Amino acid sequence: MKINDNMLAMYANHRSRKPTKEGYLFKRGEINQQYQLRHCVLRANMLFYSEGPNQQPLGVIILEGATVDFLGIEPNPKLVNKSLNIKKLHLFVIQWKAYGQNLRRYTLGCEKTEDIDDWMNKIVMSSYSFMRKVHTELKKQLDTLQNVPTRPPLPEKRKSFEELHEDLRQRISEMCPNLNIISKSDSQIIDLGIDEPNSPDVEDVEEESENNSGSIEAVEPDQEETLSE
């Protein structure tokens, strides 16, 4: 795929989507080792630099595979613009260690410590290789959470007959609080509050049977003959 200057300028200054970071950095020249103030725009894994906002980019740094290292603090840096009163610069370098030592190194800097920390972190996280590592690590954690073995449920302990009887008695007592239920240990008698019908005593029954046996009715003679016929 061919990329021309117009395409890079359009992408660098595209305002429909906010860039990852935008601001000014001091950039050391490749031939002239003095620092020049450049407006930098970080989009995806590309760092554009130009003379000012909304201007044609002077160049672009493809950050894929690059490493970002802190160089330190340089006091009284040599600036192209002598009118700038800069006492010191916090420097970091963008380089490609894995591809050999002949590739260019980009040395950038800013005045404040918090600015350099933010720039370095965002540049490191902008590469697709870093996002791929994060995605792989998150996928491993998700797989680990999904494959956690679940403990089987504990078998339910079977209750004895006495325990079931006691549970039933308690449930009936809760449902019918006015019902007096005697437990099994008392004699398994359920008192429903109903009186039984009066039954004759044994002595009364025996006395009545004796009276019936002693009183035999006399039969008259005429009635006896009629019966014999």
Contact predicate 64/45, CB 8 Å: yes
Percent of the chain scored above 90 by pLDDT?
A: 22
Contact predicate 130/44, CB 8 Å: no
Contact predicate 180/191, CB 8 Å: yes
Report which DSSP code applies to 111.
Answer: S
Higher pLDDT, 110 or 176: 110
Mean pLDDT of all residues in the chain?
75
Higher pLDDT, 43 or 145: 43
Please give the pLDDT value at position 89.
Answer: 93
Please give the pLDDT value at position 191.
Answer: 46
**Mean pLDDT for the stretch of residues 170-194:** 58
Query: In the beta sheet, which residues pair with residue 22?
Result: 41
Higher pLDDT, 168 or 4: 168
Least-confidence region, from 77-86, 103-112, 172-181: 172-181
- Positive or negative, the CA dihedral 16, 17, 18, 24 is negative
**Mean pLDDT for the stretch of residues 201-214:** 52
| Distance (Å, whole) CA 52 – CA 40 | 8
pTM for this model (two decimals): 0.56
**Mean pLDDT for the stretch of residues 142-162:** 69
